[in-house]
Amino acid sequence: MAERDQTSRAVRPAPGSTPTDASTPEVVVGVATYRRPAALARLLPELVAQLQGYAGPGSVVVVDNDPAGGAREQVEAWAADGVRYVHEPRPGIAAARNRALASAGSAELLLFVDDDGLPLPGWLGRMVGAWSRWHPTAVSGPAVPRFEEGEPDAWVAGSGVFDRTVRPTGALLGGASSANLLLDLAQLRAYGLEFDEAFGLTGGSDTMLTHAIVAAGGEIRWCDEAEVLDFHSVDRMTHAWVRRRSYRTGNDWSRVALALRPGPGRWAERAELLARGAVRGATGVANQVRGRVRGDVGRRALGACQVSTALGVVGGALGVVSVEYGRPPQA
């Protein structure tokens, strides 16, 4: 949630601090995938092109979380271009991300993009450039929404769920998404951190990891120029999906806050979360009322999502878990 971001602490890069070829680190781009062949067909050529334009050593590792290993043939067709296939049959996005960490080898940096994302040209160089300027534990960049079919209606568009985040490059963050994320592997190992598999099927393992980085004393910097297109299928362009996503976001944030506050302090954190949820819920109700009175569909949608987020925060504080990545039982 935005109140934990430390965007006011932006720092300008020092002149002449852009990395040179001699100091360009080895990188691995990690992609966790689960039965999205069309998305991989769009993504892999772009990743290969960016690695070919990169001054240092690099590769791509695709972690297939499908128990049947359905992406193997498609991914291995790119082996000559530095793309590796890894199979992680244990269910859950956290298990797949941890397999990417384990498969990074001698690389200094691991960059994550989602399998339905698409980095824009220059993304890799800009992310590594931001890391070279400040040497944080992580760098995060924007995910720019794109829709597979048509455009969302006014309610969905006004909800704020698909807004592109804008921050000054260099801003310090309190957390980040793995949709566009660089990790300094040496720092991450020094902190003893990886993705928490308790969040594997619920979502939020990236929130947990990045908040844990900050709690351990690490830094996360923003790079506003390093954009990744974030494609959304038509089933996400519904009021119900937007409300569910808002609920899950609040639920993840609340559960992470509790997980990072062990011992007696957890009760104080729980009380604070309940209070925050109540305030967010009241704000959402007020926005819904204003939206109806003024005929403002966008404000009504924003209010509805604020209420859903509030319910997620309260649910997380009370131990209710939202399962985002549940799967049907295997035959």
Assigned token pair, 29: 């781009």
Instruction: Decide if 204 contacts 99 (C-beta within 8 A).
Output: no
Closest alpha carbon to 55 in 23, 22, 25, 21: 21
Length of the chain equals: 331
Closest alpha carbon to 248 in 310, 167, 163, 173: 310
**What residue spans define the domains of the chain?**
2-236, 239-317
Amino acid 170: pLDDT: 97
Q: How confident is the model at residue 331 (pLDDT cuts 50, 70, 90)?
A: very low
pTM comes to 0.87
- 307-317 per-position pLDDT tens digit: 999 999 999 99
Q: State the CATH class of domain 2-236.
A: alpha beta
- 252-302 per-position pLDDT tens digit: 999 999 999 888 888 899 999 999 999 999 999 999 999 999 999 999 999
Q: Residue 330 above 80 pLDDT?
A: no
Amino acid 11: pLDDT: 34
CB atoms within 10 A of CB 59: 20
- 48-63 per-position pLDDT tens digit: 999 999 999 999 999 9
